[in-house]
Structure formats: structure tokens, C-alpha cells
Structure 1
């Protein structure tokens, strides 16, 4: 298996997707409404992006801001529609009021996805007990990635946690098998310590958009990250 690090970029539309692919992204996370921190994109948007690029797409399943599920039936319906449209990879994660994983919701979505690979997203950074969450989710089909900054405040604060979890993964501790995808306030100067610890996957959103979220993804910005994660 290649040791090349994975670079995942957030895409809101086909223009973003093409730019990110041109810049060297390995994979896209598809969302809409970044004001709500990323919600499920319309099925039509997925179809346009799928037609525009050849790299893997992970589609967000999230109906409202925050980490409670909201309308689970609507979310299941969204997942079903996206699957019918050809979506094969997903991103989701829900917590209950106590900060534990919402296993009922997660298991219902996993059943709907029928073995598709998926990322448990930054809900882990709001969990009451990260280690317990990992162990509770460890046997769920398809779970191959955790998107995490190590802290709700971002990678700056979360770096010690990320390095400790990378070490736990190296030791083969239960619950640490899925790949750690680091994102959330990630900067280029964080990369050397993360790479040295064995982290091999990185996620950027705003860092790919010099003009901010109102502007498009810049292939040049993505290329800068591609070169840095490969260094």
C-alpha cells in the first residue's frame, strides 16, 4: 500500500471539485451550508460533482448544525437518495445529550449504507470521552476514518491529543484502527509534527480558499498543501 498521505478538500460545488482535483486533492468531502458547519448537499449537487471529477467523494450526512441528529427519518431518506445517485462514501457522527455516541442513529445509518466506507467526523472532538467513543464504535461496518482536530477549538489546542492518539494507533490499541484524518484549523506549520507521529491524512476547507468561503477553491492553494503533505 502506498505511503502517500491523503489530502481531502471540502467542495461545495463542481467548480470547487475540479479546482481541488487539479491542485492534487485525493478525495473530496461534499457539504453544503458552511455557516452551519457543513450539511448534506442536494442529490443534484452530488451528481454534478460526480460527473465533473474522478477522485473519491465522501458525502456529509447531517441535517442541522450541532451534533444531535434531528430528523433521523429525513437523514435516512437523504442517504438512500444519495446511494441511488451513486454515492459510495459518507461522513457523519452524532452525540447524545451526555456527549456519548448516538449509537441508535449511527447504527441506523450504517445499516442503510450497506458496507460503504465512512468517516466519523468532528463530533469526536465534542465527545465526553474520546477513548470510550472509539471503543463503542470499533466494530461498526465501514468505519475507516476519524476526522478530528483533537479539540473543539482546533488543531492548535488539540495537537497533544492527536499525537497521543497517533501513538495509540501505532501500538494497535483497540478502537484506534481507523485512519486519523486531521482537520479543523489545520495549518501548514502543524504538518511536520503530525507527519513525524505517523499521521497520514489531512483535511482542509478554508485553507483551500484564499478569498474565504464566499470564494472558490484555489488549485494553487491545494497544490501548496499537496506539496507540504508529501514533503
Structure 2
């Protein structure tokens, strides 16, 4: 599926790509409305409608991913609520075998996430993800989300990357498109970011639902 001999660096999204997105979906779509309903003495349905409207208003911007923004906007201690659910943070079952395979094949492994640095740190503390990575960056460090071309310019410069020899893996088709437009040579979608939801369909990019599908070719050198 991929010409591994043309790929030096693998850029990996975190939530939904290396970690099971079920945690985030549960947190933002269920726990946050429940807590907001308690705080404001409204129904959970009313709270859900309110937060979904708020989410939609900043979709695709850095604020959408910013815990500080949601703390101030909703009046909830978002990080504390995350800590209450740390037992739900799980890696995908196929992530570590793939990350270890990339190391064995001599590929540079860079985590490229829109997650807020506090959120990122929490997830690194409660999973084995860090030992499967060489470098990492949160888009908050650049001032731009992955949807924005300036993020990619900052990424390439920071790690002295040759974009054409990079593979980017993500569960979001618009973000894969942003990477392609920025000059990233190869893109791959993840069809099953949330283990509790049906598979997604990718119309413009190759996609998989199990990293084990890549290992034979990866270790053979592509």
C-alpha cells in the first residue's frame, strides 16, 4: 500500500489514530453536557444542544482543541474532569506493534497532535505512548491547528523535515487534505478511530482499520 523506501518520517495523529477516540467522544459528548446540566440546573438535552452549538462555532480552529478556552467558555474545570476519567484512556491495540515496527525499519516517529499540552501530558502519563515516539509536537506550540498551512510550515522547520518523504496518518479527512496541500508526500486514513462506533469512509485517501496490515511491507522495506 505504501512505498516505504520513499518514506523517512511518519507523522502520527494521537486521538483516534494511536489512542482510542472513545475516550474523547465520551468526554465531550456525554460527560461535559452532564456536568454543565448540573452546574446550570438545565436538562442534559439542553446542555448537549448548548455545547454542540459552541463546538460548531469554533470547529477547525485552535480554540476547538484548547482546554483553557472551554474552561472559560463553559465554566467547567475541563482538566480536572479529564483526570476523573483517566482509566478510560486507552491505546489502540495495534498501535505499539506498528510504532515498534517503524523503529525497527529506521523511520522517524513524530506525534503531531492538536491536543492541548495539558491533555497531551495527561495521555502520555496514562499510556505507554511516549516510548513509541521519537519526537512530538502540539499544534498549540505553533499557534495554528493542523487544519492551517502555517502549522505544517512550523512543523517542517522545527524538525528539519523533507515533506515529500513524510507519511501522515490521521482519522480526519480534512486534516489529511491540509497535509497533502502543505506538501506531505503520503497520507493514510484511519477508518475506526472510535472502537465503539462504525467505520468511517474516506473518499480521497487510502485508509486502513488495522496497522498490522502494514507491518509485512514495512519490515520488508516497501
* TM-score where L is the length of structure 2: 0.35
Work out which structure has the larger RCO, using CA pairs closer than 8 Å and 6 or more positions apart in sequence.
Answer: 2
Higher-Rg structure is 2
Report which of the two has the higher share of helix.
2
